[in-house]
Structure 1
């Protein structure tokens, strides 16, 4: 065959792919566009945002469309290549389209069974009449069925390609192999623009493949094969370049968003839903009465990693202003990671959607492998989610994809832990024996409770068919209590998510043991907050109130290096502890001196003991209220301020971050917070209202759901009230106006 041969990929493939992409992109854009995020309608917010930053929307559209075009070019070129090898003649456009559509439907079914939560809004809000199809898929199939068919198609193609090379050894066959390797490399790396550029050259210079020497093809194929190995080679090289200090143990702070203490060892049908954590508890120190300082993710982590209360560092909600965020990691509020860096540690953060807090402040990590969150990313997600045929590729459920859009990492409905486990393994391989720390934060338990297949079936009712079949949609304005059947399903989803995280945790421990670093590692397992699940009048969620044990009571397990701290016979501690205790504990362990005073206490002195020698109390406060409507009990006993969409501002200068920038709103949020002080026996809650300050005192042991208010007649009432005021005045520099606590920032405004 001479140089004037027709191109192996004629221009008609480009035209068919382009028309196919345009048709389905517009089809899904029209019939599958949503402006709902976790139950909150953000339509008006996005319209305002897009009006001001329309260029961002155009770039987002271009990005999503380009990925779709590359994937369709890939599929059409491979199907066309198959027919070329089989029958050596041109095939009609509708035959090619049928096969591409068939492959995409198989991939979609695979994705829907693997992650049905991603498609929840489509089936339960926009087109509920189609929900029976999703029920059928998840009830009667598994992802392996569709993987098998897709695998056979791909295997058949490779056999055909290898046969062509073996029998003919022509430049055409070598060019086809080179084409497949290029597409595979682009698919696994997600460099879709490189892929489109490659196709542009292919269609422009497609006739020139006969001019390339066979030896050149061989070298190119070897080079591409090497590129597939680059990540592993890079990890090995990185491990060799890092310093090795065996005297410094690796540190792993492992956490799951919303993991409740009472779910550890919780049994269903006689079996624990946390078998891996149960085993770990026997080798670690267990702190049974451990509490978070604030049941919202961002401020909770800020408290844990700085060792200071949110009322001190001022990050008190999920959307802090620039001035507030800059205090984290400053000289006044250094983080654990910054202090460890001073003794030679590198620090990493790894996490799924709720870990979007880590890139948004200076926590001191050397590398953050977690999603970000801003209005631009939210726009990408909304646009991509509308494209049903694209989602299997974007979520990686189709042959190791998932790298096309990093923004998809922030999907709250994508609870697959395997992707962050892979990142964790990459770090441990890369670091080797060097001193390093990893903060691992799983979001699978956070609402809407989205464990992947098969975990979402673990403890749910197989006979339940309704909107909570696969996830718990969230509507902060809805105070209606679900039926008992629905409540049991929601709790089953939560328990299934806990079980899924336990499996993640087990994988992490297996990795550490396989690498021989488990025994000498510091491993801390905890949570940023708990979760209310319709106990009494508590509703569902976290951060809105402080009643009961569910939202602040979280697990804490610490395993120290065996050579330095022996796990004693008495390894269970029942005294009350706080998330701000972790910072001073690590500082004392490593002998790092600190200039600041901390509200927490080092836990090293109580290892091997069962309780404090003196009575201890810990502090907590509520987060921000997302909605200003609803019939919840906490809505009736709060100082009102606008809903969260009215509070927000998009700040283009900060990469379109969503912040609460109005100082009056920030002051109101701080002033309106409910606060609590609790010891091992009692909890006092401070509730500012427009009518005055309300106090509630509960017996934690006799009344864990906090139904009977003992204030003001109980002997503990006055003592705990005074101690609460002392704590807030000390750590917030607050003042009193009657019984109201006035935050320090408000005091400064008043004084000026």
Structure 2
């Protein structure tokens, strides 16, 4: 016997949906596939990866295809129901397909205007002749236009459905209402495989709806509505279980990737681009000369959260080996979250694509709401990005989707902070007035600088029409400097991204105030590093060199609970501070004893003062160099090693993470790093080369761009050189060979982790 077909689900609808999905999936796969990420060709890497792990690629393809199939089954079924209720059940496949293409086309246009950066590679690398179409959309429309049309279509369907229910009140119309609610649940939750199973049952046994008593539909509808309310109910239930520790201030560490210090309060046309941060600064202590220890995200956060230098815990680049990662959160390198847990705190991490570092090491969080980063996830992203009709649903720009593929959270061109704000709000509801900490990390300012609509228009030139109109593609091998118009556009994108983060930060503060949390909370605002934006010869990016103020000088504002915050004559501190000061400051505030010695200092004794009583020097070092080609000054002043695509390995047993596991390469990277010490007035940079060690000494106040090297004739040269060697020998257990610093090897460290 064949399947028991129902008029509502004729088998031809299934066939049309499958053929439609297969056709467009193959069409976009053939004509819209690229091995480029943010403008960098990773074709050789992906070909090597796909060859070695072809099974993973097949499972990825199945995953993306399944999402597409579920969405098309949903759309075709809803369009067919409309025709069915209008007494046209024999509608042709052409008409059905045309409506689905219209709906998906409108959703795509909405997504293009909301996040044009997501489609940047399509319009600027694959099919640049189509770029004027994107220009037209973003210049003359806004997402609301397409939302309105889509809303009218949905309202039309709802009208037809409820008219059918009102006129007939039969099982068929109630069953369609149940069907719509089920699809809505699956769409908002992202459980697409359950959706496909649901459709398989419908097409096989769909006629069974005729056996259900019409009164039973009332119970089913009630249960479905309850399911819609379950997340909110569950959040309130969890709030009771997480509120055992009362009276302890919640701790919020809020950071933006690449946020430069000089952008706080920076004015354009007489108006500050950070109005919310400016207002917050009035409630906190502002540290004006604050610096990160290493301008790369993973090691910078490892330093901040352990209070130790990268040269001590050994996570010194974005791709640490398993042995290096395991040191984070160990007995020798406990994190802030682990120490807070000892006194009853729960810890959360929330972030967008640059926050992919948090799942990759034991930072001590109870929950991590951030994307991961590995070769498998990159493959999912590459495959999904080729499917233009699918992207609006995967990014959630179409009616609250965005949960289908968690891998899309790590999409570097998706600079929308609203999705992580929702997770932040959920945690606040869940925790109530309990003891908890949240580390919130926004990536909107990280290159390729991708604020969503309308922010990408805020400070950019409306008359600029080039490849940097919506984002800055990054190619580390290209040392050419953009022309004046392009440089202005890139800086405008960066300022727009800063403004977008400030709005995001304002929403966070408003949420804390609305919940009555703000006054008694500890709130820290900072950044993992800054960004060079073509000042002098510094290029664009971070981690490649230590010249200038742009890449290490970051904001640092801390607000303590109102009830315990002593009245001080000054809330601005101008002495130099370091990101490793945050750990001992919090330990000091909470009175948590620690066995470790720290290179940083508690800042509590200096609250209300304006400077240190004695001269202080802080340390910084460069990150890993991604490219072994180019004509930048720092690529000439370096000990060469292969580019990142040659250094890395994909480790299947580590969830296909991309790592540098060869100990020779790891030690070469450590040996080659540029290092610096600086005080409030001067900066000394140590640069090992094949020809010997170079030193550069700059006057930070008179020469902030570091153009005039004062070494070796300045009186501070010898003193700062001695302090740099002393610092590295102390915290890295390094040795000297002539003027070269020889880092300690991880294999030489015997430690019980």
Per-residue CA deviation, residues 103-142 of structure 1 (Å, 9 max, x unaligned), is 0000000000000000000000000000000000000000
Distance 1:4 1:720, change over 3 A: closer
C-alpha displacement of 1:321: 0.1
Report the counterpart of residue 49 of structure 1 in structure 2.
49
Distance in 1 of aligned mates of 2:122 and 2:614 = 56
- Taking the aligned partners of 1:473 and 1:567, their CA distance within structure 2 comes to 48
Check if 1:493 corresponds to 2:499: no
Q: Give the equivalent residue in structure 2 for 1:288.
A: 288
Q: In the alignment, what sits opposite 1:28?
A: 28
Residues 1:567 and 1:533: Cα distance change in structure 2 (over 3 Å)? farther
Q: Which residue of 1 aligns with 2:415?
A: 415
CA-CA distance at 1:56 after TM superposition: 0.3
For residues 524 and 548 of structure 1, the distance between their equivalents in structure 2, rounded to whole angstroms, comes to 25
Aligned position for 2:584: 584
The answer to whether 1:512 aligns with 2:526 is no
The residue number in structure 2 matching 1:730 is: 730
Other-structure match for 2:470? 470
Q: Tell me the TM-score normalised to structure 2 length.
A: 0.98
- Conservation of the 8 A alpha-carbon contact between 1:290 and 1:556: yes
TM-score (norm 1): 0.98
Q: Which position in structure 1 is the counterpart of 2:600?
A: 600
Q: Is the 8 A contact 2:21 2:69 kept in 1?
A: yes
How big is the shift at 1:253?
0.1
- Measured in 2, the distance between the counterparts of 1:513 and 1:167 equals 49
Q: Residues 220 and 716 of structure 1: is their aligned pair in 2 closer, same or farther, counting only changes over 3 Å?
A: same
- CA shift, 1:748, in A, is 4.3
- What is the Cα deviation at residue 88 of structure 1? 3.9
Question: Secondary structure of the equivalent of 2:86?
Answer: helix
Aligned to 1:635: 635
1:601-750 pair list within 5 angstroms: 601-745=601-745, 748=748
Name the counterpart of 2:155. 155
- Displacement after TM superposition at 1:569 (Å): 3.5
Q: Could you tell me how far apart the structure 2 residues matched to 1:166 and 1:275 are?
A: 52
* Shift, 1:4, TM fit: 8.9
Instruction: State how far apart, in whole Å, the 1-side matches of 2:320 and 2:272 are.
Output: 39
Taking the aligned partners of 1:507 and 1:377, their CA distance within structure 2 comes to: 30
Identify the range of structure 1 (217-226 vs 140-149) with the bigger mean alpha-carbon deviation.
Answer: 217-226
8 Å CA contact 1:273–1:498 kept in 2: the answer is yes
Alpha-carbon distance between aligned partners in 2 of 1:585 and 1:188, rounded to the nearest angstrom: 42
Cα distance in 2 between the residues matched to 1:23 and 1:57: 20
- Cross-structure match for 2:405: 405
- Give the structure 2 partner of residue 351 of structure 1: 351
| Aligned position for 1:503 | 503
Q: Conserved in 1, the CA contact under 8 Å of 2:39 and 2:121?
A: no
Offset at 1:565? 1.2
Give CA deviations for 1:348-393 in whole Å, capped at 9, x if unaligned: 0000000000000000000000000000000000000000000000
Whole-angstrom CA distance in 1 between matches of 2:446 and 2:48: 29
The residue that corresponds to 1:128 in the other structure is 128
Q: Which moved more, 1:85-94 or 1:460-469?
A: 85-94
Which whole-Å CA distance do the structure 1 matches of 2:460 and 2:656 have between them?
A: 39
Asked whether 1:95 is paired with 2:95, we answer: yes
Distance in 2 (alpha carbons) for counterparts of 1:137 and 1:606: 53
Alpha-carbon distance, 1:744 to partner: 1.0
State yes or no: 1:196 paired with 2:196. yes
When the two structures are aligned, how many residues end up with a matched partner?
Answer: 747
Q: Partners of 2:56 and 2:105 in 1: how far apart? A: 31
Q: Who is 1:83 aligned against?
A: 83
Contact 2:319–2:658 (CA under 8 A) maintained in structure 1: yes
**Cα distance change, pair 179–707 in 1 and its aligned pair in 2 (3 A):** same
Secondary structure in 2 matching 1:398? coil
The whole-number CA distance in structure 1 between the counterparts of 2:277 and 2:521 is 16
Distance apart, 1:208 and its partner CA = 1.8
| Residue of structure 2 equivalent to 1:562 | 562
- Farther-moved stretch of structure 1 (268-277 vs 565-574): 565-574
Query: 1:747 Cα shift?
Result: 9.7
Q: Say which SS state the counterpart of residue 537 (structure 1) adopts.
A: coil
> Which residue number in structure 1 is paired with residue 363 of structure 2?
363
Q: Distance in 2 between matches of 1:162 and 1:423?
A: 34
SS at match of 1:205: helix
Q: Which moved more, 1:563-572 or 1:576-585?
A: 563-572
In structure 1, what is the equivalent of residue 314 of structure 2? 314
The yes-or-no answer on 1:377 pairing with 2:377 is: yes
The unaligned stretches of length 5 or more in structure 2 are none
Listed as ranges, the matches of 1:268-279 within 5 Å are 268-279=268-279
Cα deviations by residue, 1:248-276 (Å, 9 ceiling, x for unpaired)? 00000000000000000000000000000
Matched with 2:235 is: 235
Aligned 8 A contact 1:735 1:747 in 2: no
**Distance in 2 between residues matched to 1:476 and 1:39, nearest whole Å:** 10
In structure 2, the residue matched to 1:527 is 527
Distance 1:526 1:92, change over 3 A: same
| Distance in structure 1 (CA, Å) of the matches to 2:430 and 2:705 | 47
Partner of 1:101: helix, strand, or coil? helix
Cα shift at 1:243: 2.8
Structure-2 residue corresponding to 1:208: 208
In structure 1, the gaps of 5 or more residues are none
Equivalence map 1:426-441=2 (5 Å):
426-441=426-441
Aligned-pair CA distance for 1:566 = 3.1
Deviation at 1:166, TM superposition (A): 1.4
Q: Is the 8 A contact 1:118 1:413 kept in 2?
A: yes
Structure 1 counterpart of 2:145: 145
Deviation track 1:172-221 (CA, whole Å, cap 9, x = no partner) reads 00000000001000000000000000000000012221111112211111
Counterpart for residue 327 of structure 1: 327
Q: 1:284–1:567: 8 Å Cα contact kept in structure 2?
A: no
Deviations along 1:231-260, whole A, 9 cap, x unmatched? 101100000112343320000000000000
- Runs of 4+ in structure 1 deviating by more than 3 angstroms, as ranges, are 3-6, 746-749
Q: Within 2, Cα distance between the matches of 1:607 and 1:206? A: 70
Query: Residues of 2 paired with 1:485 and 1:254: CA distance?
Result: 33
Distance in 1 between residues matched to 2:566 and 2:503, nearest whole Å = 27
The alpha-carbon deviation at position 38 of structure 1 amounts to 1.9
CA distance in 1, matches of 2:698, 2:52: 50
Instruction: Give the superposition deviation at 1:6.
Output: 4.2
Residue 164 of structure 1 and its aligned partner are, at CA, apart by 1.0
SS of the residue corresponding to residue 177 of structure 2 reads helix
Q: Note the alpha carbon deviations across 1:512-535, whole angstroms, 9 max, x for none.
A: 000001000000000000000000
Deviates more, 1:679-688 or 1:216-225: 216-225
